[in-house]
Amino acid sequence: MALQMFMTFGSWNCLLLLVALEYSKASSDVNESANSTAQHAPNAWFAASSSEPDERISVFELDYDYVQIPYEVTLWILLASLAKIGFHLYHKLPGLMPESCLLILVGALVGGIIFGTDHKSPPVMDSSIYFLYLLPPIVLEGGYFMPTRPFFENIGSILWWAVLGALINALGIGLSLYLICQVQAFGLGDVNLLQNLLFGSLISAVDPVAVLAVFEEARVNEQLYMMIFGEALLNDGITVVLYNMLIAFTKMHKFEDIEPVDILAGCARFIIVGVGGVMFGIVFGFISAFITRFTQNISAIEPLIVFMFSYLSYLAAETLYLSGILAITACAVTMKKYVEENVSQTSYTTIKYFMKMLSSVSETLIFIFMGVSTVGKNHEWNWAFICFTLAFCQIWRAISVFALFYVSNQFRTFPFSIKDQCIIFYSGVRGAGSFSLAFLLPLSLFPRKKMFVTATLVVIYFTVFIQGITIGPLVRYLDVKKTNKKESINEELHIRLMDHLKAGIEDVCGHWSHYQVRDKFKKFDHRYLRKILIRENLPKSSIVSLYKKLEMKQAIEMVETGILSSTAFSIPHQAQRIQGIKRLSPEDVESIRDILTCNMYQVRQRTLSYNKYNLKPQTSEKQAKEILIRRQNTLRESMRKGHSLPWGKPAGTKNIRYLSFPYGNPQSAGRDTRAAGFSDDDGSNPGSPSITFSAHSRIRSLQKQQAPEIIPMKSLRRGGKTLSFGYQRSTSQEEHMGGSRRVALRPKPPFHAVDEEGESGGESEGEAFAVRSRWTTDRGHGRDYHRSHSPLLQRK
């Protein structure tokens, strides 16, 4: 097993370190002349452990205590990262188990080392460190990467399930454990109701993100995916609010009795804390979105703005005892949409990666700390308590899932099937959150804290390892169509075709939301928010840079010759060649199927693929690019064949995303720069879009005069801005081609844009008049134009 191999390899570093340590301990004296850095650490350890006073000025001094905490934390993170690399080297492993398994194992390893060497571990986690530094990045990442549209489409069910589910679980587990504690035989008499409730609340913090990876592979439906995601997102916040409230109650209980008024006040507070937190987040989100509107000249601080405002929202909410978690989530969700359009492409990438990195570091630290506290003597093993905790966790999750979804199914257009509910039930994996909360229980209030921690650890280990590993097979088993593995080539091909077909038809139908509120918000958004929050000149989108990433020149050449050389994309292909056409042997079928499975385009997915620990390389974007280039060819062919291609018109709206830069520009100077841009394959050229834009508006009138067949469409409701042009489709081929030539000679701003409908949401009144640009025809068009200017390009 690669894991095993790697674990030994990864731990090798640490073991080496410790062996060296033992050696240096055994040796009598500090070797002062030792200056190799490799020996630095062992020497340091020795220096830390030895208390010999040395008053002389030494040439070489060690102060390990000074660096101990960051030093060891760095080593841990490095170790975890190395382990992750090893984990992903063996490609089947990530499919078998969630990555949190690996992190826990690494943590246990570190814990074992620390325990084995009697080394005092640095105090990584206390309450303030956890809540102020470790938790916010994790929550921020969840909020930022949330697929907004499906989330808000299902928001009713998500809120219903996440909020009530957490409450039912917390209360249910707490109360039933309290009943167990009343049984004398178990020796749990000193655990009172409040403590049980608190334990119930912390143990009900599920972290089902780990199972999302499984879902993605198994292609579960979108709403199920969103349920799990929404639960992961909101659950933490709700649990922490509940936890803090119960801690307050417990403190109060120590000194005076709790009266019904207090409980009522607590409930009211629960709501205030939650809603207030969300409000705070929204306000901060808008502020930061507004600020990024003005950062075009100092794009380096764009990520900073995003992070600082998110963090500020968290801190500000915490100052007022509101829920910081909900605030930072709401802040991320609010600003994401606007910030992404405002910031430059590089900042956007930076934000994404930095966010992933921060949250990944936080979680790694928590898991390692969990491992550290797993191995040790600070446990209190109470069979009854642990077993009943485990049982109640499952029972109450089942009860809450089936009861809550039974109710919410009555109101849903597309109810959750029993199968979906089983999967949701089974996805109740506990994670870092539960452990942290248990670990942070104040010992003064909870004499049996050790038992709570032990029980929490058992639940986490059980759910992460057993449920986490078996949920993949379970989902696949429930998903009946997956079981039919023996497919012929025809089936393989036809099925993929049908998937694409279905996706295409779905796109034709558009997204249907069932919420009037959402439509209202979209209108409001179009009318006011976007105008305030988003820069006037449209920023480049991800698709632009992506398009540029593929070497522009090569793309042009490919398009020019109409041939996509197979070497264009340097993906080594090891598929076996099939010789001769005789009978089909099973191996042939197998190999052809493999080729098809690996190389057929994937169906586009609406929910972004989400992985908590990694940002996937955007294969879908690359694929989209490839398809665009190829389809352009087919469009051109069909044009030659005489199928009429409507002439496109560039249209300016806020919703446009550029696919590529224009092949030409009315100003010759502009053309030259563009040609230069092609040759040097410039990564980012912030000026270009605006050039195009002004050019576009300038030649508008020109076009009007020159082309009699242009029908200026009525200016849509958005005023002159969205004025668009279109050629009426020519009926005869001659006219058509003639038109093409004419247009080819005319300065034309053929920038290619596509309406990112998936991201901006479905159709609505607002979008009805949002003119979308026609990229395809533009491209076909631009091609012609490009050809007429090709000498220019060839010269350079």
Residues 594-633 that bind another protein (CB under 8 A): 595-596, 599-601, 604, 623-624, 626-628, 630-631
Q: What are 657's strand-pairing partners? A: 754
- The C-alpha atoms of residue 307 and residue 140 are separated, in whole angstroms, by 9
Q: What are 725's strand-pairing partners? A: 712
With respect to another protein, which residue has the nearer C-beta, 54 or 765? 765
With respect to another protein, which residue has the nearer C-beta, 73 or 600? 600
**Residue 557 binding another protein, by CB under 8 A:** no
Nearest-10 crossing angle of helices 155-182, 222-255: 40
The binding track of 409-448 with respect to another protein, each residue x by CB under 8 A or -, is: ----xx----------------------------------
One of 481, 485, 641, 795 touching another protein (CB under 8 A): 481
* Residue 638 near residue 645, CB atoms below 8 Å: yes
Please identify, among the stretches 60-68, 455-463, 674-682, 757-765, the one whose residues bind another protein according to the rule CB under 8 A.
Answer: 757-765
One of 776, 783, 784, 785 touching another protein (CB under 8 A): 776
With respect to another protein, which residue has the nearer C-beta, 59 or 581? 581
Residue 656 per-residue DSSP state: E
Find the binding residues for another protein in span 181-240 (CB under 8 A).
none
* Residue 578 near residue 596, CB atoms below 8 Å: no
**Residue 510 binding another protein, by CB under 8 A:** yes
- The C-alpha atoms of residue 85 and residue 614 are separated, in whole angstroms, by 11
One of 156, 193, 756, 792 touching another protein (CB under 8 A): 756
Pair of tokens at residue 561: 């010759």
Find the binding residues for another protein in span 565-594 (CB under 8 A).
566, 568-569, 571, 573, 575, 577-578, 581, 584, 588-589, 592
CA distances from 323 to 130, 236, 694 (A): 15, 10, 46
Residue of 145, 182, 183 lying closest to 359 (CA atoms): 145
Q: Which residues contact 321 (CB under 8 A, 6 or more apart)?
A: 273
With respect to another protein, which residue has the nearer C-beta, 350 or 777? 777
By the 10 Å C-beta count (0-12 exposed, 13-18 middle, 19+ buried), 598 is classed as: exposed
Find the binding residues for another protein in span 708-737 (CB under 8 A).
713-714, 726, 729
Q: Write down the least CB distance from residue 523 to another protein, Å.
A: 14
One of 96, 466, 501, 532 touching another protein (CB under 8 A): 501
One of 207, 318, 341, 755 touching another protein (CB under 8 A): 755
One of 493, 608, 707, 792 touching another protein (CB under 8 A): 493
**Residue 59 binding another protein, by CB under 8 A:** no
Residue of 689, 685, 675 lying closest to 749 (CA atoms): 689
Tokens 């780990």 locate to 210
Pair of tokens at residue 363: 């979680």
Find the binding residues for another protein in span 655-684 (CB under 8 A).
657
Please identify, among the stretches 77-85, 362-370, 391-399, 503-511, the one whose residues bind another protein according to the rule CB under 8 A.
Answer: 503-511
CA distances from 206 to 278, 393, 434 (A): 21, 10, 7
Provide φ and ψ at 624, rounded to 5°: -60, -40
One of 253, 308, 763, 787 touching another protein (CB under 8 A): 763
With respect to another protein, which residue has the nearer C-beta, 141 or 767? 767
**Residue 635 binding another protein, by CB under 8 A:** yes
**Residue 551 binding another protein, by CB under 8 A:** no
With respect to another protein, which residue has the nearer C-beta, 129 or 603? 603
Q: Write down the least CB distance from residue 508 to another protein, Å.
A: 6
Residue 564 per-residue DSSP state: -
By the 10 Å C-beta count (0-12 exposed, 13-18 middle, 19+ buried), 365 is classed as: buried
Q: Write down the least CB distance from residue 768 to another protein, Å.
A: 4
Q: Write down the least CB distance from residue 624 to another protein, Å.
A: 4
Residue 206 per-residue DSSP state: B
**Residue 767 binding another protein, by CB under 8 A:** yes
List the alpha helices (DSSP H) in 727-774. 733-745, 757-760, 765-768
Provide φ and ψ at 348, rounded to 5°: -60, -45
Cα 550 versus chain centre, distance: 24
Q: Write down the least CB distance from residue 772 to another protein, Å.
A: 5
With respect to another protein, which residue has the nearer C-beta, 353 or 512? 512
CA distances from 79 to 64, 103, 106, 363, 705 (A): 20, 10, 8, 14, 68
- The C-alpha atoms of residue 757 and residue 762 are separated, in whole angstroms, by 6
CA quadruple 395, 401, 402, 407: dihedral sign = positive
Residue 430 per-residue DSSP state: B
Q: What is the DSSP string of 436-468?
A: HHHHTS-TTT-TTHHHHHHHHHHHHHIIIIIIH
* Residue 500 near residue 492, CB atoms below 8 Å: no
Q: Write down the least CB distance from residue 565 to another protein, Å.
A: 8
With respect to another protein, which residue has the nearer C-beta, 380 or 499? 499
**Residue 561 binding another protein, by CB under 8 A:** no
With respect to another protein, which residue has the nearer C-beta, 251 or 616? 616
One of 506, 521, 686, 693 touching another protein (CB under 8 A): 506
With respect to another protein, which residue has the nearer C-beta, 122 or 758? 758
Q: Write down the least CB distance from residue 345 to another protein, Å.
A: 19
Find the binding residues for another protein in span 457-476 (CB under 8 A).
none
Q: Write down the least CB distance from residue 151 to another protein, Å.
A: 18
**Residue 638 binding another protein, by CB under 8 A:** yes
- The C-alpha atoms of residue 333 and residue 313 are separated, in whole angstroms, by 12
Q: Write down the least CB distance from residue 480 to another protein, Å.
A: 8
Q: Write down the least CB distance from residue 762 to another protein, Å.
A: 9
With respect to another protein, which residue has the nearer C-beta, 512 or 524? 512
Pair of tokens at residue 411: 């109101």
**Residue 39 binding another protein, by CB under 8 A:** no
